[in-house]
């Protein structure tokens, strides 16, 4: 493992984490405007990641 390869893997992880955070945070802001189907889609993403969120349990 070279230094460049390690840096690439770190940047990939950071990008993935940012994408996950955006997917989890955005629906909380726009859930009132968007349809129920999109919220279900986001909940499935959250469940796949293994993040246990309060609203994902309460709104079943």
Q: What is the mean pLDDT of each run of 10 residues along the chain (60 residues)?
A: 70 79 69 62 70 52
Those residues whose C-beta lies under 8 Å from the C-beta of residue 31, and which sit 6 or more positions away, are 39
Q: How far apart are CA 52 and CA 9, in angstroms?
A: 26
Query: Taking a C-beta distance cutoff of 8 angstroms, is the pair 24, 42 a contact?
Result: yes
Domain ranges within the chain, ordered by starting residue: 3-58
The reported pLDDT for the residue numbered 58 is 53
Read off the pTM: 0.33
DSSP-assigned letters across all residues of 18-41? HHHHHHHHHHHHHTTTS-HHHHHH
Output Rg (C-alpha) for the chain, integer angstroms: 15
The reported pLDDT for the residue numbered 5 is 73
């Amino acid at each position: 493992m070279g230094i460049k390869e390690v840096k690439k893997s770190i940047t990939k992880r950071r990008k993935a984490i940012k994408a996950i955070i955006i997917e989890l945070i955005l629906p909380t802001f726009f859930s009132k405007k968007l349809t129920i189907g999109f919220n279900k889609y986001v909940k499935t993403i959250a469940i796949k990641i293994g993040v246990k969120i309060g609203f994902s349990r309460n709104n079943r």
